[in-house]
Amino acid sequence: MTVTELLPLGKRRSKVLTDEDFVFALYNTELNRLHIAEGTELSEALLKEELLPLLRKRAMERLLFLLKGRDYTEYALRRKLRESGIPECCAEEAILWAKERHYVDDRRYAEHYISCQSGQKGKRRIRAELLMRGVDSALADELLEQSPADEKEQIIAELRRCHFDPESENPDQKRRLVARLMRRGYSWGEIELALRSMI
C-alpha cells in the first residue's frame, strides 16, 4: 500500500490517501514519527503494529466524546467518524463495541425522539426526520404505530393557540393555518376532521 497524497486538514492534521482507497487522518507529528510522506510504502507491520491500533484508539475516543454530549444513530456516528478521518474498518469496530454495550441503540433513539416531538409535529414529519437521521423505516413505522399521540387533538390545540375562529369567513387565515399544519407533518384528512369538529 503506497501513500499517494497528503491533504492538510487545518494546521495540525493531514488526510492520508493511499492507492488502495484506504483513507485516514493523522496529526503531522505522527506522520513525522512514522515516517509517512507522499510515495511512502506502508508495510503490513507498520499497519498492524502502529497505524491500526492508533486509529482504533482514536475511533473509540471520538465515539465516546460524541456520545458524551447526546445520543446518535448508527448512521450519524458513521458519518461523524468518517468526517473525523477515521477509516471505515475502525469506525465499524467502534460502533459494534458501542452497540454491544447499548451506548448506541437506534430503537431507544427513535423512541426518545418520538416522545419529545409528538406534541409539536405530525407523524409524517417525525417519520421523515427519523429517516433523515438514519433510523430504519420499518422501525420508525412500528414505533409511530405504538405512539399514543392524538393528532386531531394536537391540531385543535394548535388552531386555538393561533386564535383560529371557525366562524370567520377569512379564507387567507384558514389557508395559512392549514399550510402551517401540513408543514408540521399533519395530514389533510386529520386537519379537515379537526376543522369540522370546531364548527
Confidence of residue 155 (pLDDT cuts 50, 70, 90): confident
pLDDT at site 39? 87
Confidence of residue 169 (pLDDT cuts 50, 70, 90): low
Whether pTM exceeds 0.75: no
**What number is the average pLDDT over the span 114-134?**
88
Helices assigned H by DSSP within the chain: 28-33, 44-46, 52-69, 74-83, 88-100, 106-117, 123-132, 137-146, 151-161, 171-183, 188-198
Query: pLDDT for 56-99, tens place per residue?
Result: 999 999 999 999 988 999 999 999 999 988 999 999 999 999 99
Q: From the centroid of its chain, how far is CA 34?
A: 34
The residue among 193 and 61 whose pLDDT is bigger is: 61
**Distance between CA atoms of residues 184 and 124, nearest Å:** 8
Of the candidates 190, 189, 159, 195, the residue with the CA atom closest to the CA atom of residue 177: 159
Rounded to the nearest integer, the mean pLDDT of the chain is: 87
